[in-house]
Amino acid sequence: MSANPILAEQTRGGVVENIHRGAFVISDANGNIIAAAGDISRPVFPRSAIKSMQALAMVTSGAIDQFALQPEELALACASHQGEEFHVAGVTSFLGHIGLAPTNLECGAHAPTFGPARDALRAHGEQPTALHNNCSGKHSGMLSVARALGVPTENYVERDHPVQKAVRAAIETVTGSELSVDLCGRDGCSIPTWAAPLSGFARGFAKMATGEGLPADLAAAAQRIFDAATAYPHLVAGTDHLDTLVMRAFAGRVMQKGGAEGVQCGAIRNKGWGYALKIDDGNMAASQATVASLLLRFGDPDDDQRAVLERFSRQKVLNVRKFEVGEMRATAEVNS
């Protein structure tokens, strides 16, 4: 197996200090490739980058209609939020809406990933709860699936639970990939994560953007989920995060979501294109530089959108005294 190309590099002074290999693909809903590099057929774990696909189980189960879920709740179901005050309040409200409580969450607790929110919690002498977990919105959505199906909420994170079977089926429908138990792991928040080719995830996002090749109910739900995430981007990530800034700048035209270990997925909705990328070594800054550069190249940004993307496509590397010592940037493999 040949090595993937170098998609990003980090410099120190004028010297390339680190290189980051990976693969990316941009595809339409029929699987036609607009651009690609590297091995796009190798199965990868998409991690949190496909939360919007996982959220489709809320329509197949009837949860969206049964609970009249609001756009803000749908956005939180797609979120890897930073544990800011408005995130915690939103998840608390979401759980209350479906008749459950924070104690029903099985994602575990961790401190907010947003520094000021973490500092505020510490200043008040409080310990983080599952509400602060960046996946608590997704877990609330999964709990709504359990409630709609009329099944126990306990152990909803397990692979054989009806909730996870519904999630798996939704992912298979949109990606066109059969998810194998041989390629199943457990994600950081304890739910199953299924490895599949990047090409399938890119095509799946294109199908969600256009509705092409999807059953009518899933096509309508996909549009509703994308609309919610792009209308409330601060709920999907948070202050100064790439996902939030990009979706806010593009005003509904781009659906963007990152996942752990260097994964980025999304859709350029007005073109009907989906995209997916994975940095082999899991470097998140490298993945952000790559996706920002791809959107500069293929997203037809205006001046304001370009300014947001350029902030991430060439990221300053600072030392502890805030001296600029280098940069993280995408390579010609991405930019041309």
Task: Give the model confidence (pLDDT) of 27-85 as tens digits.
Answer: 999 999 999 999 999 999 999 999 999 999 999 999 999 999 999 999 999 999 999 99
Tens digit of each residue's pLDDT (9 = 90 or more) over 121-170? 999 999 999 999 999 999 999 999 999 999 999 999 999 999 999 999 99
pLDDT of residue 1: 72
What predicted TM-score, i.e. pTM, was given to this entire model? 0.96
pLDDT of residue 211: 97
Question: In angstroms, what CA-CA distances link 293 with 167, 315, 335?
Answer: 31, 11, 6
Contact 308, 246 (CB under 8 A): yes
HEC profile of 253-270:
CEEEEEECCCEEEEEEHH
Residue 192 CA to residue 163 CA, distance in Å, equals 11
Share of residues in the chain with pLDDT > 70 (%): 100
pLDDT for 220 beyond 90 = yes
Burial code of 287-321, b = ≥16 C-beta within 10 A, e = fewer? bbbbbbbbbbbebebeeebbebbebbbebeeeeee
pLDDT for 265 beyond 80 = yes
Q: Are strands 273-279 and 43-44 parallel, antiparallel or unpaired?
A: unpaired
For residues 226-244, average pLDDT: 98
Q: At what angle do helices 242-250 and 216-231 cross, to 10 degrees?
A: 100
Residue 53 CA to residue 49 CA, distance in Å, equals 9
Architecture of the CATH domain 6-335: 3-Layer(aba) Sandwich (3.40)
For residues 293-307, average pLDDT: 98
For residues 236-262, average pLDDT: 98
What mean pLDDT, rounded, does the chain reach? 97
Residue entry with tokens 């930073």: 82
pLDDT of residue 120: 94
The DSSP code for 4 is P
